[in-house]
Amino acid sequence: MSARMAEDRPKPQNVSEAVRDAVQRTLETTMGSTRGRAQEAVDEIIRGAEARAGAVADRVRSAEAGAEAVRDRALRALEDVRPASAEDLRAVHRDLRAILRRLDGIERRLAAAEPADASPAKKRAAGARAPRSSKARASAPRSGGGSGSAGST
């Protein structure tokens, strides 16, 4: 310490008071700088925590977007392989009945348009036959290497 500082301070009455003054000055000096360093350390910890929290939030958003994409792909895949519902089967049956009615009409028009003097051999070669009803057609066994089940694909 400089001589001038020593002159500015009041002179202690005894040694114990001098020691007490020295400790108090040291504590005050140390406390001020320690408080500042402690505040800086706390601020640094907070900045680091905020940066890590931002990174975690970004990862969570990315994971959510990825999960949503996976969910959408899974739903599309399930849509393609789901079994037919009763409503789906009713719609197919309606379409099939409409097709059979059209086919019966076409066969009737072809039979009516065929000349009356056509030979039986020509009729057999052309595959002419009497039109069947839609019910008879739907219940008749199918020929031609099918699997026996109209719904198997």
Single residue among 54, 80, 106 that ends a domain in this structure: 80
Domain span at residue 55?
7-80
Residue 31 lies in a domain: yes
Alpha carbon distance 10, 18 (integer Å): 10
Per-residue model confidence (pLDDT) at position 27: 78
Q: What is the per-residue pLDDT for 4?
A: 54
> How many residues in the chain?
153
| Assigned domain for 67 exists | yes
Checking if the pLDDT of 143 tops 50, the result is no
Q: What is the mean pLDDT of residues 4-33?
A: 73
**Number of domains present in the structure of the chain:** 2
Q: For residue 22, is it within any domain?
A: yes
**pLDDT, mean over the chain:** 77
Same-domain pairing of 56 and 94: no
Residues 75 and 114 in one domain: no
User: CA nearest 21: which of 7, 9, 31, 32?
Assistant: 9
pTM of the model: 0.32
Domain presence at residue 26: yes
In this structure, is residue 152 part of a structural domain?
A: no
Q: Which residue has the higher pLDDT, 56 or 131?
A: 56
- For 28-85, what is each residue's pLDDT tens digit? 777 777 777 888 888 898 899 989 999 999 999 999 999 999 999 998 888 878 888 8
Statement to judge: residues 26 and 66 lie in one domain: yes
pLDDT at 8 over 90: no
DSSP states of the chain as a string? --HHHHHHSPPPSSHHHHHHHHHHHHHHHHHHHHHHHHHHHHHHHHHHHHHHHHHHHHHHHHHHHHHHHHHHHHHHHHHHHPPPPHHHHHHHHHHHHHHHHHHHHHHHHHHHHS-TT--HHHHHHHT--PPPPHHHHHHSPP-SS--S-TT--
